[in-house]
Structure 1
Amino acid sequence: MSKVICGCLWWVGMMFGAMAHATSVVFLNPGMSTETFWVSYAQFMQAAAKDLGLDLRVRYSERDPQNTLQQAREALQGPQSPDYLVLVNEQYIAPQILRMAQGSQVKLLIVNNALTPDQVQLLDAGKYPNWMGSITANDEEGGYLMLKELLRQHGPVPAGTTLDLLAFSGAKNTPTAQAREQGLQRALREHPEVHLRQLVYGEWNRQRAFDQATLMFKRYPQATLVWSANDEMALGAMQALNGSGRTPGKEVLFSAINSSPDVLQARLQGRISALVAGHFTVGGWAMVLLHDDARGVGIQDPGERERQVKLFQLIDEPQAQRLLDKRGHEGDGVNFRELSAQGKPAAYQYPFSLQMLLK
């Protein structure tokens, strides 16, 4: 056999060996496979995984927690379990999966919705050595920033008068929604001139928020501010306002979280006055942590289990256009390998931020 053929066989063998030993990750996506936020979230994760050489598989629950539990069971107890399982504490489901993972060699990382303090206390983290902790965005600050920006754009309120506010939170049993509500409440404490007329749970859904807002605008015709914990609910509420003859961005100011094409266009058109975004990148940054952990770098100290990253920021019109231009290719231009802690000083801090996409 010639040296050339031998060399080719050796190279092919090396490639197959590398593929066979690629670190494998399963992400239990709690959203719909047609849901803009969770699809873009998974796309950013895939871009990071590809750059880092990780084998990532995404499974959608279609908003059914029972599907998530079944998918977790298949990943943890099936014949080809992954090295890592990434999950979201949507509907408080994480503890069940952690208990399911006991005795497994699979490592678990929670993203976006961390365990609640009560869950942590009840679980006894020491019983779950393969639980790596969580990485989340600063949701409380996101909720706070929205109302502060709405008030900045509204301008001064004459002494002795008040502003009526309507609020749309997400799913009640979701830590993310609760944290954003806490941010709203913090801003309200700073501004007693704002009167929260009603807060409802829109379940992150545009149609549900439309139905709720149709009634609320009739009940509170003087409302001038609308706070929404995501883009879909804000867009539904704006649609309801259009039916009342008033104009979003003029008579009534709206806020939203997320960076879907629809809400970015609304920001560019002035229909959304306060837009906050950034947390769709959490899964991508999680891939960097898993890449490092697989190489013995990163999350070692139990005190580092809970990572909260300051990802939320207000999005102005140029930034909205930039995000819109990059739609579907948000990971392009991000060198995820360069973010690794490998070879970095002991004091190295991961520089995760939305600015890495906006530069």
Structure 2
Amino acid sequence: MRSFIHSMLLWLALSVPTAQATQVVFINPGRADEPFWRGYAQFMHAAARDLGLELQIVYAERDPQRLISAARQILQGAQRPDYLLFVNEYYTGPEILRLSAGSGVKLFSVNSTLTADQQQVMGGTREKYPDWIGSMVANDEEAGYLMARALIRQTDSRQPLQMLAFSGVKNTPAAQLREQGLQRALNENPRVQLRQLVYADWNRQRAGEQADLLLRRYPDVRLIWSANDEMAFGVMASAAQMPSGQKPKLLYSALNNSEEVLQARQNGRVSALVAGHFTLGGWALVLISDHAVGLDFAQRGGKDRTVRLFMELDVTQAARLQRVLRQENYGLNFRRFTARQQPAMRDYAFSLKPLLAQSVAK
């Protein structure tokens, strides 16, 4: 609660409009101390500095009521930003849109946008709520598929296999899409039996507690599919605590870009790693910076976009990304991705490749 109050006070203290900078607030659904959301915020701050935007990030600490309360204060307070970025975590997107009515704030959804069912009621971007100007999500379904496919490929193709799957928050579109990708890979590989899928809320401790039971219930499991890195590490910790004669030989997949998981990919603790969506908020700010000066991103690739940010990383790529993430500002010039600097471009080129292409000292 203290970090939430601090975030809101910081936003209120710095919310006096200026003519010099476009003001943007991002309601981060995660916790301030979560490796993924911390890295996500750092990438956004790097982009904002380079693009000349004034960015404030408010953390909801994985509490949907706190998330809605933050949206209410930002959208209905006396001082309002020019733009609000939000995530449809816990399906809170419709309520955020309702709160935005008449606020004059432009909204942009990232990571998880409204589902098709929600849009049947609320309308899409620039429809019932015209100030909801766009959305950008990563290829979550493909991410789930890439992880499962990579795990399966590392096994004897003639032998049947058993798998456990650890997903995130059940009512989060990103988790659901990753599960769909997992199911696509399983459909392609009928020799692999998914014994159980559980929801560990993206949490290491929760996944470990679930694994304590599941690894004993299913002693023949060899594949662990995990929708993020924290849950994979929770299962690893559980497996390590089993009696030496019962410890299973497991292959793990993971998703994210923490220092810990990039190192784990290099030393073989993680067999399949997918990363890239930590850049999504920063790329969204590129679109916002163009929109703020009258260059509508909808004319350059559309107002709603799914970007192929997720990549499967081999050991060499994991090491390179680890070094890049240690660099100040990631070595990127974010302005070069804007329509301001490329007025003839037809679409934005967002991917993980610019980071992997950086020249870094070993």
For the Cα contact (< 8 Å) 2:222–2:248, is it kept in 1?
A: no
> Hey, what does 1:238 align to over in structure 2?
236
- Contact residue 319 and residue 358 of structure 1 kept, 8 A: yes
CA contact (8 A) 1:330 1:357 kept: no
Q: In 1, Cα distance between the equivalents of 2:230 and 2:157?
A: 29
Match of residue 198 from structure 1 = 196
Aligned AA (2:82): D
2:285 is matched with 287
| Aligned residue in 2 for 1:299 | 297
> Shift of the alpha carbon at 1:156?
1.8
SS in 1 for 2:154: helix
Q: Provide the rounded CA distance (Å) in 2 between the counterparts of 1:353 and 1:250.
A: 37
Native 8 Å contact 2:324 2:331 kept in 1: no
Mark the structure with the bigger radius of gyration.
1
The one-letter code of the counterpart of 2:158 is: V
The within-5 A match list for 1:142-221 is 142-158=143-159, 162-221=160-219
C-alpha separation between the residues in 2 aligned to 1:223 and 1:330?
42
Contact 1:171 1:202 in 2 (8 A): yes
| Structure 2 counterpart of 1:323, from 321, 324, 346 | 321
| Candidates 302, 310, 313, aligned match of 2:308 | 310
Q: Distance in 2 between matches of 1:221 and 1:109?
A: 46
TM-score normalised per structure 1: 0.90
Q: 8 Å contact 1:246–1:252 — kept in the other structure?
A: no
Change (3 A) 1:123 1:156: same
Paired AA for residue 87 in structure 1: F
How far the C-alpha of 1:157 sits from its partner, in A, is 2.2
Which residue identity lines up with residue 223 of structure 1 in the other structure? V
Deviations 1:233-266 (A, max 9, x none): 000001111122579x992100010011111121
Q: CA–CA distance in 2 between the matches of 1:150 and 1:93? A: 33
* Residues 1:142 and 1:330: Cα distance change in structure 2 (over 3 Å): farther
Q: Which residue of structure 2 lines up, in the alignment, with residue 85 of structure 1?
A: 84
Question: In structure 2, what is the Cα distance between the partners aligned to 1:242 and 1:217?
Answer: 11
| Equivalence for 2:253 | 255
Distance (whole Å) between structure 2 residues aligned to residue 241 and residue 85 of structure 1: 42
Contact 1:40 1:328 in 2 (8 A): no
TM-score, normalised to structure 2's length?
0.89
Counterpart residue type for residue 60 of structure 2 = S
1:135 corresponds to which residue? 136
* Unpaired stretches in structure 2, ≥5 consecutive residues: 1-16, 358-362
Matched, 1:276 2:274: yes
Deviation at 1:331, TM superposition (A): 3.5
Q: Following TM superposition, by how much is the alpha carbon of 1:19 offset from its aligned partner in structure 2, in angstroms? A: 5.6
**How many angstroms apart in 1 are the aligned matches of 2:61 and 2:231?**
18
* Distance in 2 (alpha carbons) for counterparts of 1:299 and 1:250: 50
Instruction: Determine the structure 2 residue equivalent to 1:53.
Output: 52
- Alpha-carbon distance, 1:327 to partner: 3.3
Query: Which amino acid letter does the alignment assign opposite residue 65 of structure 2?
Result: Q
C-alpha change, 1:330 and 1:305, in structure 2 (3 Å) is farther
| 1:180–1:305 CA distance, 2 compared to 1 (3 A) | same
Offset at residue 302 of structure 1 (A): 11
- Conserved in 2, the CA contact under 8 Å of 1:169 and 1:177? yes
Deviation of residue 133 (structure 1)? 2.1
Structure 1 residue aligned with 2:62: 63
Shift of 1:79: 1.9
Distance change (3 Å), C-alpha of 1:184 and 1:246: farther
Between the aligned partners of 1:303 and 1:93, the Cα distance in structure 2 is 27
Aligned 8 A contact 1:132 1:299 in 2 = no
State the Cα deviation string for residues 299-353 of structure 1 (Å, max 9, x = none): 3469923211000011111221122223354732111101001253555221111
**Residue 99 (structure 1) aligns with:** 98
Letter in 1 for 2:355: L
User: Aligned AA for 1:219?
Assistant: R
Q: Which runs of 5+ in 1 are unaligned?
A: 1-17
Q: In the TM superposition, what whole-angstrom CA distance separates every residue of 1:126-173 from its partner, at most 9, and x where no partner exists? A: 221100121110000000000110111123224xxx100000000000
The SS at the match of 1:324 is helix
Match of 2:351 in 1: 353
Distance 1:127 1:120 in 2: 10
